[in-house]
C-alpha cells in the first residue's frame, strides 16, 4: 500500500470536474505525484495512501451558468467547509492544505469571479486563524471565449493582474485553470455541404459533420459561428445547418443566417477548440475526423481519421 503523504484542497464550488475518483484513480494520482487532489463532498473517498487535498467550496452567487451552491452536485457548501477541515485533522494520511473554487463556465464578466476570490481569501484567513496550514489556492477557471461576433472575451492580462493584486503577500501558491480561454478559439471544425433541402417553412443545409462531432449545439444550445471557406458573393440565407444523423437534435445551427452554399462547399464551424473533439463520440457508428495542427503556413496530422476497424477493435466474443 502506498504511504506517500497526501495533500488535499477542499473544493468550494467545482474543482477540476472530479466529483468521484475510484480507488484505482486515487492510487494512480499518488503514484504520479499529483500535487493536490480536490475534494468536492467532504471526504467521501478512500485514499490508500496519504494525499494532499483541496476542498472545493461553493461560495454562492455567481452568474446564471454558475455551478456553486447547495442545490448543485459540485463542491462543498461554504457553511460546511470549516467543519470539514477540522475533521481532516484526524485523518493521518491527508493534509488539507488548500482551498479550491470554481463558480461557473463561459464567464464573459469577471466581476463574479473576483467576488468569489474575496470569499475564498476570507475563508483562508479563518482557516489559518484556526490553525490550519493553507498553502495552496486554486481559483478555478471558467473564463469565456467569443462564440458570437458581438461577444467580448475577458482580457487575460488584465484578469491576472486583478488576481495578483488580491493574492500578493498572502504566502499562497496560486493555481488557475484557463482551459477554454486558451483552446476554444484555437480550433475549427471543417464540414462539407452534402445537399440542401427546402420545406414550405424552412431551408436546411445538410452537412457531413454531426452531433457526434460537435455536441455543444445539441447539448448546451451552444452557438458557433459558421463561415464559408470561400465567399461566393450571393446574399446570405436563413437556414438550419444540420448533420446526416437520424436525430432531430442533430444540428449545428438553427434559424441562422448563413452563406448561400451549394453541395460540395466547405464551412468552418468556429471556436470548436474546447468541448469539441473531447466530447466527440462514435454514435451512429460514425468514425471521428482527423485532427490537424496548423502552425503558420505549416500543417500536420496529429490524430488520424478513424476507420471502421477502429470502431470494432474492442469488440469480441461474438
Q: Could you give the 3-state DSSP secondary structure of residue 65?
A: coil
* 49 class by beta-carbon count within 10 Å (0-12 exposed, 13-18 middle, 19+ buried): middle
Rounded Cα distance, 70 and 225, in Å = 35
More confidently predicted of 100 and 257 = 257
For the whole model, what pTM was predicted? Answer: 0.83
CA-nearest of 115, 2, 31, 11 to 73 is 11
Count other C-beta atoms under 10 Å from residue 48's C-beta. Answer: 14
CA pair distance 101, 141, nearest whole angstrom: 9
Q: Which of 37, 55, 101, 246 is catalytic?
A: 246
Query: Is the Cα torsion angle 201, 207, 209, 212 positive or negative in sign?
Result: positive
Mean pLDDT confidence for 224-243: 97
Taking residues 152-177, report their average pLDDT: 94
pLDDT of residue 216: 97
Q: Kindly report the backbone phi and psi dihedral angles of residue 201, in degrees, each rounded to the nearest multiple of 5, phi listed first.
A: -120, -10
CA dist 182 → 115, 187, 193 (Å): 23, 10, 29
Q: 67 near 21, Cβ under 8 Å?
A: no
The cell numbers describing 71, all together, are 442545490
Specify whether the backbone of 152 is left (phi greater than 0), alpha (psi in -120 to 50) or beta: beta
Report CA-CA distances (Å) from 68 to 17, 120, 134, 181.
13, 13, 22, 20
Range with top average pLDDT, 58-67, 71-80, 201-210: 201-210
pLDDT tens, residue by residue, 106-118: 999 999 999 999 9
Is residue 238 scored above 90 in pLDDT?
A: yes
Question: Does 146 score more than 80 pLDDT?
Answer: yes
Active site residue 246: yes
DSSP class of 283: G
H/E stretch holding 85 reads: helix 81-88
Confidence band, pLDDT 50/70/90 cuts, at residue 19: low
Amino acid at each position: 500500500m502506498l504511504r506517500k503523504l497526501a495533500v488535499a484542497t477542499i473544493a468550494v464550488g467545482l474543482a477540476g470536474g472530479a466529483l468521484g475518483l475510484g480507488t484505482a484513480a486515487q492510487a494512480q494520482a499518488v503514484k504520479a505525484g499529483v500535487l493536490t487532489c480536490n475534494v468536492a463532498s467532504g471526504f467521501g473517498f478512500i485514499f490508500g495512501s496519504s494525499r494532499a487535498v483541496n476542498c472545493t467550496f461553493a461560495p454562492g452567487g455567481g452568474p446564471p451558468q454558475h455551478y456553486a451552491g447547495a442545490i448543485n452536485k459540485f463542491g462543498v457548501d461554504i457553511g460546511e467547509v470549516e467543519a470539514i477541515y477540522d475533521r481532516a485533522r484526524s485523518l493521518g494520511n491527508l493534509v488539507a492544505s488548500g482551498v479550491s473554487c470554481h463558480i461557473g463556465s463561459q464567464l464573459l464578466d469577471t466581476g463574479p469571479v473576483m467576488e468569489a476570490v474575496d470569499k475564498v481569501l476570507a475563508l483562508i484567513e479563518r482557516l489559518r486563524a484556526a490553525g490550519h496550514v493553507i498553502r495552496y489556492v486554486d481559483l478555478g477557471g471558467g473564463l469565456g471565449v467569443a462564440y458570437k461576433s458581438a461577444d467580448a472575451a475577458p482580457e487575460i492580462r488584465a484578469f491576472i493582474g486583478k488576481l495578483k493584486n488580491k493574492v500578493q503577500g498572502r504566502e499562497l501558491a496560486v493555481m488557475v485553470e484557463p482551459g477554454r480561454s486558451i483552446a476554444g478559439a484555437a480550433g475549427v471544425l471543417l464540414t462539407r455541404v452534402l445537399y440542401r433541402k427546402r420545406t414550405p417553412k424552412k431551408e436546411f443545409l445538410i452537412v457531413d459533420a454531426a452531433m457526434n462531432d460537435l455536441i455543444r449545439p445539441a447539448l448546451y444550445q451552444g452557438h458557433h459561428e459558421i463561415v464559408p471557406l470561400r465567399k461566393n458573393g450571393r446574399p446570405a440565407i436563413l437556414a438550419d445547418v444540420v448533420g446526416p444523423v437520424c436525430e432531430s437534435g442533430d444540428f449545428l445551427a438553427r434559424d441562422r443566417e448563413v452563406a448561400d452554399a451549394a453541395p460540395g462547399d466547405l464551412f468552418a464551424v468556429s471556436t470548436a477548440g474546447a468541448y469539441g473533439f473531447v466530447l466527440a463520440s462514435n454514435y451512429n457508428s460514425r468514425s471521428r475526423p482527423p485532427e490537424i495542427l496548423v502552425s503558420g503556413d505549416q500543417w500536420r496530422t496529429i490524430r488520424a481519421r478513424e476507420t471502421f476497424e477502429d470502431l470494432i477493435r474492442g469488440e469480441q466474443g461474438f
